[in-house]
Amino acid sequence: MRNNATLPWYQQRISVSASPINADGSLIMSVAES
Give me the domain span that covers residue 33: 1-34
Q: In the prediction, which pLDDT does 29 show?
A: 58
Q: Is 15 exposed, middle or buried (0-12, 13-18, 19+ CB in 10 A)?
A: middle
Q: Give the residue from 7, 16, 15, 14 showing the smallest Cα distance to 32.
A: 14
Q: In the prediction, which pLDDT does 14 show?
A: 57
Q: In the prediction, which pLDDT does 16 show?
A: 54
- pTM value is 0.17
Interval 1-34: pLDDT, tens: 455 566 666 666 655 555 565 556 666 655 555 5
Domain count of the fold of the chain: 1
